[in-house]
Amino acid sequence: MRRAALPLAVTTALALTAAACFGGPSGNKAVPEPAKPVALGRYLGLWYEIARYDQSFEVGCEGVTAEYAKRPDGLISVKNTCREGGPDGAVRVSEGKAKIVEGSDGAKLKVSFFGPFFFGNYWVLDRAEDYSWAIIGEGSGKYLWILSRQAVLPEAERDALIGRAKTMGYDVGRLKIVRQPPA
């Protein structure tokens, strides 16, 4: 009897893990493919999070930045920084790695913060010609970020980027505006 229970327990645990990873609301049921190719050299560097769909790993985070750099092994280092509780809160850092998805013109990446087996999708859905802003999502529509090279955007520019996300089919009512520390 114990032997019969073990496979059931393992199957149940795997099903619950899959539901936790893939369940949840989607803010866009028809995510578009990335609009433009991405030149990695121009995309690398520091980005400020302007708005996002709140996720469990970012709850309470303000002053969020993402920094991308080329690694000697050809992968991309990812350093996400957040300030807990507000723009002047304690700093929390997460470091990971990314790789470009073959055939995506550099616009799709696989990103991991949890070792070699857990990669999440990261799509640069749209970007400025000068790489001053980018709209990031992935195929399920559960994640959305609006990034900028500037910590704070003029309200009209921020609203225009939110409007772009809306035209892509995203529920922009779910967006959280991220506060950045004063310059």
- Each residue's pLDDT tens digit, 19-39: 334 445 677 777 788 999 999
Q: Does 4 have pLDDT greater than 80?
A: no
Q: What percent of the chain has pLDDT over 90?
A: 71
Instruction: Spell out the residues 6+ positions from residue 88 whose beta carbon is closer than 8 angstroms to its own.
Output: 63, 181
Q: Does 6 have pLDDT greater than 80?
A: no
In the chain, the domains with their CATH numbers are: 28-177 (2.40.128.20)
Work out the average pLDDT over 141-166: 96
Q: What percent of the chain has pLDDT over 70?
A: 85
Identity of the amino acid at 37: P
Tokens at 177, concatenated:
């505006």
Cα 62 from chain centroid (whole Å): 15
- Coil, strand or helix at 61: strand
Instruction: Spell out the residues 6+ positions from residue 104 whose beta carbon is closer than 8 angstroms to its own.
Output: 34
Rounded CA gap, 42 and 113, in Å?
23
- Of residues 31, 63, 40, the one with CA closest to residue 109: 40
Q: What is the mean pLDDT of the chain?
A: 86
Q: What is the pLDDT of residue 119?
A: 85
Q: Does 16 have pLDDT greater than 90?
A: no
Which of 14-18, 60-64, 125-129 has the least mean pLDDT? Answer: 14-18
Q: Does 9 have pLDDT greater than 80?
A: no
- Each residue's pLDDT tens digit, 96-139: 999 999 999 999 999 998 877 678 999 999 999 999 999 999 98
